[in-house]
Amino acid sequence: MSKFKIISDVNRIMKSNDLCFAFFKGSILVRRENNNTYIPTFEEIESFKIKCDREVFLGEIEGVACFGMEILSKVGLPKSIEFLNLRELMSLMKEEVFLAAGRASEILSWNGKHKFCGNCGERTEDKKDEIAKVCPNCNNVIYPVICPAVIVGIVKEDKILLAHNSNFKNNMYALISGFVESGENLENAVRREIFEEVGIKVKNIRYFNSSAWPFPNSLMLGFFAEYESGEIKVDGEEITAANWFCKDEFPDIPGRGTIARRIIDKFIEQD
C-alpha cells in the first residue's frame, strides 16, 4: 500500500511545512543539497519569491499535506533549484513522492486544457466541492480524465515474453501494453493488444496489480497470461523486436518503481 493517500478537500489551506509539487511547463521544481533531491515546502517556495498559480490539494504523505501548483516564471530562482521531468524524478524519489507528483502533473495539465467548455465554449469555473470544472452557461461538468491501459506478463513454460518498443530511447525490453478501447473489457484488451503487437494468442488471463502512470494520464492494469498458440510476429511499427527470455538471460528491463518491473520481478520469484 502506498504511503501517499489521496484526500478530496478542495478547500484545504496550504501551510508553511506542506510539500509543494510545483511545475513549470511540465517539469517539476526540486531542491538539490549534498547530492540529495528534495520536494520543497511551501515556506521554501515563498522564499524564492516566484509567481505561482493554480494551487490544488493532492493528499498526504504520512500525514504531511501535499499541494500541486503552477509556476508562472523561473526568474530569480536560486542555483540549488532544478527542474526535472517526471521520468527523471521516478528514479530519484520514493514511490509515494512520485505518485503525488504524478497526480499534480495530471491535474494541472487537465486544468490548462479545460479552461473553456467543450459543449458551448463558455469559460469554465472551478467546482466548489470537488476537483472538477463546471460551465456557468450550460452546467456541463468536466472531470480529470483517466485512460485505462493493460500491461501483460506473457509466460511460456519458464520464459516470459519481452519486447522492444520503437519509442524506447535505449535497448530496453519491456512487456506488451496498450490502451483499452471504448466498449472493451480488460481481458479482451489483453488478447487484442498481444495479437496486434506480437501475433500470438494467450489463455488463463489473471489480474496482478495496478499503478497510476502519469504519461500523460493512464491507469496501468497489470496481468499475467499463459501462451496458447502462434509464432511471434512483431508489428514492425510499435514493436520492433520480441522474444522469450529465461530469468537468467534478461536484456535491459524497466527500472524499479514501474509496474512492468513488478510483474517481471514476480515472474522471477516463481519457480
- Over residues 86-112, the mean pLDDT reads 95
How crowded is residue 223: how many other Cβ atoms within 10 Å of its Cβ?
24
**What is the pLDDT confidence band of residue 118, given thresholds at 50, 70 and 90?**
very high
| 148/154 Cα distance (integer angstroms) | 19
- For residue 114, give the amino acid letter: H
Residue 113, SS3 per DSSP: helix
Pairing, β 19-24 against β 27-33: antiparallel
- Over residues 193-206, the mean pLDDT reads 98
Sheet holding 141-142, edge to edge: 125-126, 133-134, 141-142
Residue 1, SS3 per DSSP: coil
Total residues belonging to the chain: 271
- Over residues 196-218, the mean pLDDT reads 97
Question: Nearest 5 degrees, angle CA 192-CA 198-CA 200?
Answer: 70
**Domain limits of the chain?**
4-112, 115-145, 147-269
Same fold, 4-112 and 147-269: yes
| 49/25 Cα distance (integer angstroms) | 18
| 13/138 Cα distance (integer angstroms) | 30
Q: Are 132 and 146 in contact (CB under 8 A)?
A: no
Residue 73 has a pLDDT of 87
| 67/90 Cα distance (integer angstroms) | 18
pTM for the model stands at 0.92
Residue 108 has a pLDDT of 96
- Over residues 86-106, the mean pLDDT reads 95
Q: DSSP label at 64?
A: E
Per DSSP, the chain holds a count of helices (H) and strands (E) of 5, 16
**CATH 2.60.40.10 correct for 147-269:** no
- Over residues 154-180, the mean pLDDT reads 96
Grid coordinates representing 228 are 496458447
Average pLDDT score, the chain: 95
Residue 95 has a pLDDT of 93
| 125/57 Cα distance (integer angstroms) | 17
**What is the pLDDT confidence band of residue 271, given thresholds at 50, 70 and 90?**
low
CATH T-level topology, domain 4-112: Nucleoside Triphosphate Pyrophosphohydrolase (3.90.79)
- Over residues 166-185, the mean pLDDT reads 95
- 128 alpha-carbon distance from chain centroid: 26
Grid coordinates representing 151 are 500491461
